[in-house]
Amino acid sequence: MKTQMKRIATILLCLCAMACSSEEADLKAQPAASGGRTLIVYYSFTNNVRTIVGELAKQINADVLEVQPAEEGLDYAANNYAIGSRLIAAIRQHPEDPASYPSIKPSNIDVSQYDNIIVATPLWWSQMAAPMQSYLFQNGAKMAGKRIGLIVSSASSGISSTVADAKRLIPEGLFLEPNLWIRASQVGQASTMLAEWIEETGLNKDDQTSDMKIKVSDGENIVIFQLNSTSAARSLFNMLPIEVEVENYSNNEKIFYPTPALQYGNDCIEGDCPAGTIALFSPWGNVVMYYAPASRYSGLYILGHAIEDAHLIKNLSGTIRVEPVTTTDASLTAATADRQDIYSIDGSRRITAKANGLKSLKKGLYISNGKKIAVK
């Protein structure tokens, strides 16, 4: 999947009183978007992992958190890597002792909000870089039951001991396979390597879906849409319920104008729109429901797709009510309970109407519930 979605989280640093006194983690991150289900947490000393994470954030919908050592300006590579080497040795000797781990700046990100956590780290002396170990020592237990993706960058050493560190520090994480090893010399190819890795791990499988379903009804015709998790889709969902006029546009779409206009960010998805797609045409601010396919268009952002009765989009007219539903929501059942499936006499065309809506049908023969009926 080429999601091209990006949600970068920035967490304002608490560099004042908290950090000055702190022996705790201090974390810098980019601005946070709410509702994200994937967190990328990374540390980088010489920017290789930072570059890798920049590429990754272009490809998946995730918040990003950078681990920062509390003590700034340390050169871990100076004097033949003396500082970095000492930090790793201390952890190796007493991995269970909090005092073995270097202090990092604090974060206000709650990892329990996330389903997927991608840990991206350099390798130091075959182990996970010390500041990342500090973060996971503090937060790894909260990652129980979450899907964990691991990305490691080294100059040349194999990553098995770093993988072992991750599993020690996140003992109940559900580790995705495979891990991704990007050598320093491969950072230029990170974009391609990440795209393949995302596909292999299945990380792309649910990052567009959400638990947001909506019902669009004009009283006669009801269509259920599954929304994706983009900012524009959330914006629509958050303003529901609404009642608006639906209009015909071109020969393949029904449109309406939500008020106020939907908010959208750079996480939005452009792409071809098969029949049943619901989308935001951002230049005009209207929502589009396609009953016949449309091609990708600049600023046309996909919000989701119909999961029930896409063929009825074409029939929507007049005032429509747009409201949230869930699969457990009684309204979904209610929405369909008062309907009767009616087919043209040759069975080629389905015309769904309310049970009491037969009068709206033209004179003729129809099939309803397997029986022939005549409308006079």
Ligand X SMILES: Cc1cc2nc3c(=O)[nH]c(=O)nc-3n(C[C@H](O)[C@H](O)[C@H](O)COP(=O)(O)O)c2cc1C
* Cα 117 off chain centre by: 12
Q: Applying CB under 6 A, does 154 fall inside the site for ligand X?
A: yes
Stretch that binds ligand X, among 77-85, 105-113, 280-288, 361-369 (CB under 6 A): 77-85
Segment 244 to 273, residues that bind ligand X, using CB under 6 A: none
Stretch that binds ligand X, among 2-10, 119-127, 302-310, 347-355 (CB under 6 A): 119-127
Candidate residues 74, 95, 125, 317; the one interacting with ligand X per rule CB under 6 A: 125
Min dist CB 157 to ligand X, Å, is: 3
- Cβ contact 270:297 at 8 Å: yes
Q: Is 123 in the site for ligand X (CB under 6 A)?
A: yes
> How far is 135 from 338, CA to CA, in rounded Å?
55
All residues at 6 or more sequence positions from 122 whose CB lies less than 8 Å from its CB, including other chains: 43, 44, 45, 46, 48, 49, 129, 132, 152, 153, 154
DSSP SS3 for 28: strand
Closest CB to ligand X among residues 48, 68? 48
Instruction: Tell me whether the omega of the peptide bond preceding residue 171 falls within 30 degrees of 0, making it cis.
Output: no
Provide the H-helix boundaries in 219-329: 231-238
| 76: contact with ligand X by CB under 6 A | yes
Which span sits near ligand X by CB under 6 A: 45-53, 134-142, 217-225, 305-313? 45-53
The yes or no reply on residue 49 touching ligand X (CB under 6 A) is yes
Do 68 and 131 touch, CB atoms closer than 8 A? yes
Give the residue from 158, 97, 85 showing the smallest Cα distance to 126.
Answer: 158
Cis peptide before 178 (omega within 30 of 0): yes
Tally Cβ neighbours within 10 Å of residue 216.
Answer: 25
Stretch that binds ligand X, among 56-64, 73-81, 139-147, 324-332 (CB under 6 A): 73-81
343 sits near ligand X (criterion: CB under 6 A): no
Q: How far is the CB of 83 from ligand X (least distance, A)?
A: 7
**Which of 34, 47, 266, 326 forms a contact with ligand X (CB under 6 A)?**
47
Instruction: Single out the residue of 4, 10, 103, 157 in contact with ligand X (rule: CB under 6 A).
Output: 157
Q: Counting Cβ atoms within 10 Å, is residue 243 exposed (0-12), middle (13-18) or buried (19+)?
A: exposed
Kindly indicate which of the ranges 46-54, 201-209, 265-273, 334-342 contains the residues binding ligand X, using the contact rule CB under 6 A.
46-54
- Encoded one letter per residue, x for contact with ligand X by CB under 6 A and - for no contact, window 15-44 reads -----------------------------x
**Residue 114 engages ligand X in binding (rule: CB under 6 A):** no
3, 30, 38, 48: which one binds ligand X (CB under 6 A): 48
Only one of the segments 8-16, 64-72, 121-129, 298-306 lies at the binding site for ligand X (rule: CB under 6 A); that segment is 121-129
Site string for ligand X, 168-187 (x = CB under 6 A): ----------------x---
What whole-number distance in Å separates Cα of residue 164 and Cα of residue 148?
A: 13
**Residue 72 CB contacts under 8 Å (≥ 6 apart), including other chains:** none
Which residue's beta carbon is nearest to the bound ligand X? Answer: 84
In whole angstroms, how large is the CA radius of gyration of the chain?
26
The amino acid that residue 84 corresponds to is: G
Q: Which is nearer to ligand X, 153 or 208 (CB)?
A: 153
Both ends of the chain: CA-CA distance in Å?
52
Residue whose CB is less far from ligand X, 45 or 256: 45
Q: In the complex, what is the shortest distance from the CB of residue 184 to ligand X, in angstroms, rounded to a whole number?
A: 4
Give the whole-angstrom CA distance, residue 246 versus residue 202. Answer: 38
Residue 45 makes contact with ligand X by CB under 6 A: yes
Site membership for ligand X, residue 3 (CB under 6 A): no
Q: Which of 65, 69, 48 is nearest to 57 (CA)?
A: 65
DSSP state of 69: B
Q: What is the largest CA-CA distance in the chain?
A: 95
Does position 277 interact with ligand X (CB under 6 A)? The reply is no
C-beta of residue 152 within 8 angstroms of C-beta of residue 123? yes
Q: How far is CA 157 from the centre of its chain?
A: 33
Based on CB atoms, which residue is closest to ligand X, 74 or 332?
A: 74
Residue 155 makes contact with ligand X by CB under 6 A: yes
Question: What is the binding site for ligand X (CB under 6 A)?
Answer: 44-50, 76-77, 81, 84, 122-126, 153-157, 184
